[in-house]
Chain A
Amino acid sequence: NAGVMQNPRHLVRRRGQEARLRCSPMKGHSHVYWYRQLPEEGLKFMVYLQKENIIDESGMPKERFSAEFPKEGPSILRIQQVVRGDSAAYFCASSPQGDSTDTQYFGPGTRLTVL
């Protein structure tokens, strides 16, 4: 049973470009979470999605960031017009039921570098 898949593992963008990060949850999981890890920091929650629905986006910056989890295909975290401060590791996690006692299973992360 494959774990949470994320791609690309490393992404380099110049300021002003767009970054698209993909996450495929574990088989049978319909709840996806995105977290950001800045250098020397813990992970910060960004957004929680179910299929075709954004449940909680309280951690998303108000501008340039968006997320989706379509009926078919992976969840996408999109960052438009990237800036150097967006450089971070972005982790996706999935869980089967979205219950607060559920374990969230994390992917290997995408390390975004903005030049």
Chain B
Amino acid sequence: GDSVTQMEGPVTLSEEAFLTINCTYTATGYPSLFWYVQYPGEGLQLLLKATKADDKGSNKGFEATYRKETTSFHLEKGSVQVSDSAVYFCARTEGGSEKLVFGKGMKLTVNP
């Protein structure tokens, strides 16, 4: 069935370290892909998205490229900050519908 698999963590990094969070999906058709971030005690905020193959989403120094050939949407940031500490969720639309299928989330802690 349709699913999203992502690194689960938790992961602890030092400030200015490089970040990669892997995300792969199974799909029929061509879903839209999203990264959402959840700060402690808050709801989810959209970080970036891509709606077709080879699209690159970017925001706040984060980037992810929609790779159809590897069915992946890995999130990267070259230099993390303490304020990036949060839980990161990869998500996709399901089939041709609007509902989102989420990965389990990865908790990131960035230490000064």
Q: Do A and B bind each other?
A: yes
* A interface residues, Cβ below 8 angstroms from B: 4, 6, 31, 33, 35, 40-45, 48, 56, 59, 91, 93, 95, 98-109
The contact of B46 among A59, A91, A99, A103, by CB within 8 Å, is: A103
A-B contact pairs, 8 of them (CB 8 A): A35-B102, A45-B94, A48-B99, A91-B43, A101-B51, A103-B34, A104-B100, A107-B43
Within 8 Å by CB of B97, from A100, A106, A108, lies: A100
Per the bound structure, the CA–CA distance linking A48 and B99 in Å amounts to 7
Contacts of A31 in B (CB 8 A): 98
B69 is an interface residue with CB less than 8 A from chain A:
no
A7 to chain B, nearest CB (A): 13
Q: How far is the CB of A37 from chain B (nearest CB, A)?
A: 9
Q: A residues within 8 A CB of B89?
A: 42-43
B105 vs chain A, min Cβ distance (A): 5
Q: Which A residues are in CB contact (< 8 Å) with B102?
A: 35, 42-44
Residue of B32, B43, B98, B104 near A106 (CB, 8 A) is B43
Q: Which residue of A lies closest to B99 (CB)?
A: A45
| Binary per-residue interface labels of chain B (23-63) against chain A in the complex, 1 for a CB within 8 Å, 0 otherwise | 00000000110101000001111100101000000000000
Residues of chain A within 8 A of B49, CB atoms compared: 103
B97 A43 Cβ-Cβ under 8 A = no
Which 6 interchain pairs have the tightest Cβ spacing? A42-B102, A106-B44, A106-B43, A108-B43, A101-B51, A45-B99
Q: Is B109 an interface residue when CB atoms closer than 8 A count as contact? A: no
Chain A residues near B85: list those with CB within 8 A: none
Q: How far is the CB of B25 from chain A (nearest CB, A)?
A: 13
